[in-house]
Structure 1
Amino acid sequence: MSEELGGLPNLLLGTYTPLLDDKGRLILPAKFRNQLATGFVMTRGQEHCLYLLPLDEFKRMYAKISQASVNSKGARDYMRVLMSGASQELPDKQGRVSIPPLLRKYAGLERELAVIGAGSRVEIWDLAAWEQYLARTEGSYADTEEEVLPDLRF
């Protein structure tokens, strides 16, 4: 992500609740459009959400994954699941993007969505699934007493 604001990378942040239209299209939240305007890769994410990865982030991620040994079953499995569902996308002039049926099914997307900024990527969730996930994990987040990530302290 090349644009910066105040010396910080232009991170993808926030939660939005758009609707999926009858044609399986999503209107991207305005806050994400600049970073995704030149294209992105949409693919399966963890916890049955979808990832929208700006092209530079997808290339960085792919470079890391492709360094894993082909002898590693876990690496092969991860690469297959990630890449077999991947679709390179370009939003239209209204900021709409079609979500392929395979990915809609994977994420259980019907009509109500949660579209969240997760730093270097956007995640698309079924709204009810997002609310359940958040209810399960917010408590443990609030109660964290030790480092989750090395050298991350508040």
Structure 2
Amino acid sequence: MGEFLHTIDNKGRLIIPAKFRDLLGNKSFITKGMEDCLFLYPENGWLDFVEKLKQLPVSQTRAREFTRLFFSSAAECEFDKQGRILVPANLRERAFLEKDVVVVGVMDRIEVWDSLKWREYSTNAAQNYEDDAESLAAMGLMI
């Protein structure tokens, strides 16, 4: 949980907050996320999600498209001594990451956003917060 403002250096390295490093452990995986962010998973969360994706029927076009994009952009991450990961150039480009980023904790994953895109997204999402809560209640999740 939480959000932290950080920067990506000119080599593509990003400091992950200590709180999140503890969650991620020694090995993690980064890939294309939704709404132009990146998803960063701890190894066990990654393996769980991979198992779910294996259940998708390969005969369905949307399932093939999703899994191809998800896995083709994925990379394994390890922390250096300063608590940084290397964000591959292709992922930095997909998420429009240049320098200032926001690292956000979301349940079983971490998201990495361009700081301006995060501000825009979170401002818009905040306007729908009550409506979203009402929709979740209709699905059986009471807040």
User: What range is the shorter-chain TM-score in?
Assistant: over 0.9
Of 75, 82, 85 in structure 1, the residue corresponding to residue 73 of structure 2 is 85
Equivalent residue letter for 1:21: D
Match of 2:9 among 13, 21, 28: 21
The runs of 4+ residues in structure 1 deviating greater than 3 Å are: 142-145
CA apart distance, 1:147:
3.5
Q: Letter of the aligned partner of 1:28 in structure 2? A: I
Task: Give 1:153's aligned residue.
Answer: 142
SS of match in other structure, 1:15: strand
Letter matched to residue 152 of structure 1? L
Question: TM-score by structure 1 length?
Answer: 0.88
TM-score between the two structures when normalised by the length of structure 2: 0.94
Q: 2:102 aligns with which of 105, 114, 137?
A: 114
Please say if 1:32 is aligned against 2:26: no
Q: Is the Cα–Cα contact under 8 Å of residues 7 and 100 in structure 2 kept in the other structure?
A: yes
Specify every segment of 5 or more residues in structure 1 that has no aligned partner in the other structure, as ranges: 1-12
Structure with the higher helix share, 1 or 2: 2
| Counterpart AA for 1:122 | I
Identical aligned residues as a percent = 36
Deviations 1:52-72 (A, max 9, x none): 011111111110111111111
Partner Cα distance (1:66, 1:115) in 2: 28
Give the CA deviation at 1:143.
Answer: 4.1
Q: Which residue is 1:125 aligned to? A: 113
Number of equivalences = 142
Checking the alignment, whether the CA contact within 8 Å between 2:32 and 2:91 is kept in structure 1 is: yes
**Gapped regions of structure 2 (runs ≥ 5):** none
RMSD: 1.2
Is 1:37–1:90's contact at 8 Å kept on the other side of the alignment? no
2:91 corresponding residue in structure 1: 103
Structure 1 residue 41 corresponds to structure 2 residue 29: yes
Residues 22-47 of structure 1 show CA distances to partners (whole Å, capped at 9, x for unaligned) of: 11100101111112231111000011
In the alignment, structure 1 residue 53 sits paired with structure 2 residue 34:
no
Contact 1:26 1:96 in 2 (8 A): yes
